[in-house]
Amino acid sequence: MNVELRHLRALAAIGDHGTISGAAAVLRISQPALSRTLDQLERRIGTTLVERTTRRLSLTDAGRRLHERAHLILNQLDDALAEAATGPQPLHIGFAWAALGDHTVSLLRTWRDQHPAAPVRVHRRDDPETALRRGELNAAIVRLMPSPPGDLLAAELYREPRLAAVPDGHPLAGRSSVRLADLRGQRVVLCSTSATTGDLWPRDQRPQTFDVANVDEWLTTIATGEAVGVTAQGTERTHPYPGVRYLPIIDGGTVAVWLLWPRVPTHPATGAFIDHARRAVADAPR
């Protein structure tokens, strides 16, 4: 099909920015030149990738699939070139909010001691699954499994109990623990990147909920007394916050902590890191 890297860069930028003008600015080319490149790509592969109207632009189903693969190809190329120029690249591990809770520091330190030639870089991403599929990460720690995982493999590392997060001065703040029924009459704030609430209450007993974009907004909303939250134990370890108290939920169940990685690994140390994470968590004191 004679598709070139400039075609993939064009589609990646258009999908990321949602406009020809924004993508052209990032690529530092003119808008007409970018439009011609996109037209050429669509002709060469024989399908429409971008739906254009006078008001908006959106990727087709085929466009979304190729957009994700384009990022993966471009990131893998960048990694290969960097490795050729400077040697082995770090292993990039992503997470949305709580990493591995109180296992995080000890796991990374022991990895560094045992694998000094394969440094790990840890990155917080609002959507680590997408970053993983794009090749921006080599593995990701999540508490919500992709459904279906498709081109990703997964290993459950351990389970964490659920906690309530309440503001100082709240009627529940003085308790040592709570039950789900205690939260039914509260406003519950949900974080789009760290929601572990699920269907914890019967349909006719669910509390009022609303969404915020990230864990920082979630914590601020709770600290200012606008709502309470439900989360996993790892949040208490990694996000202590002034004005927020974490309480065990006696009947809240547990949340699985998963490690995800591509079915075709994008870093030679991926398998060793997965084995290391499994051992480190299994050997940790209970």
Does pLDDT of 72 surpass 90? Answer: no
**10 and 30, same domain (yes or no):** yes
> Which domain range does residue 94 map to?
89-149+262-283
Are the C-beta atoms of residues 141 and 128 closer than 8 Å to each other? yes
Go through the chain and tell me how many residues it has: 286
Same domain? 118 vs 204: no
C-alpha span between 89 and 120 (Å, rounded):
9
In whole angstroms, what is the distance from residue 250 CA to residue 186 CA? 17
Res 269: pLDDT: 94
pLDDT (tens digit per residue) in 79-120: 888 888 887 789 999 998 888 988 999 999 999 999 999 999
Q: Is 185 helix (H, G, I), strand (E, B) or coil?
A: coil
Structure tokens at 109: 């330190």
172, 237: one domain: yes
Residue 196: pLDDT band with limits 50, 70, 90:
low
CA distance 72 to 128: 14
What pLDDT score was predicted for residue 169? 94
Number of domains in the chain: 3
Is residue 13 located within the same domain as residue 80? Answer: yes
Per-residue CA distances from 126 to 32, 69, 154 (Å): 33, 20, 19
Question: Is the overall model pTM greater than 0.85, yes or no?
Answer: no
Query: Do residues 175 and 192 both lie within one domain?
Result: yes
